[in-house]
Amino acid sequence: MKSILPIVVLVVAIAASACIIPDDSGTETPTPTATTTPETPPAIADAIPRDDLPESFTLRAVIDKNTEGTMDVLKDAASMVSGSMGVGEITDAVQGIYSAEGEHTDTTVTVIECTDSVNAANAVENYKNQPKFEKPPARTVSRFDTVNFNGHEATEVRTRPPVEDGDVRYGYVWSNGNLVFIVEPGTSDKSASMELARMTGY
- Could you read off the pLDDT of 13-47 as tens digits, one per residue? 444 444 444 444 555 555 544 444 444 456 899 99
Tell whether the model's pLDDT for residue 7 goes beyond 90. no
- DSSP annotation of 138 reads B
Q: Is residue 33 part of a domain?
A: no
Number of compact structural domains in the chain = 1
CA–CA distance, 83 with 130 (Å, rounded to integer):
8
What is the pLDDT of the chain when averaged over all its residues?
A: 83
CATH number for the domain spanning 193: value is: 3.40.1000
Portion of the chain with pLDDT greater than 90, in percent: 64
34 in a structural domain: no
| Residue 3, domain member (yes or no) | no
Residue 30 falls inside a structural domain: no
Structural domain span for residue 164: 44-198
φ, ψ of residue 75 to 5 degrees: the values are -70, -40
Is residue 123 domain-resident?
A: yes
pLDDT bin (cut points 50, 70, 90) of residue 94 is very high
What percent of the chain clears pLDDT 70, i.e. is strictly above it?
Answer: 78
Task: Please tell me the distance from the alpha carbon of residue 196 to that of residue 156, in angstroms, as a whole number.
Answer: 13
Does residue 133 lie within any of the structural domains? yes
- Band of pLDDT at residue 163, cut at 50, 70 and 90: low
In this predicted structure, what is the pLDDT of residue 175?
98
- Let me know if residue 116 belongs to a domain: yes
Q: How many CB atoms lie within 10 A of CB 149?
A: 16
Q: Identify whether 6 is part of a domain.
A: no
Indicate the range of 15-24, 79-88, 174-183, 191-200 predicted with least confidence. 15-24
Q: Is 158 a residue whose pLDDT tops 80?
A: yes
Sheet holding 152-159, edge to edge: 57-64, 92-100, 107-113, 179-183, 169-176, 152-159, 144-149
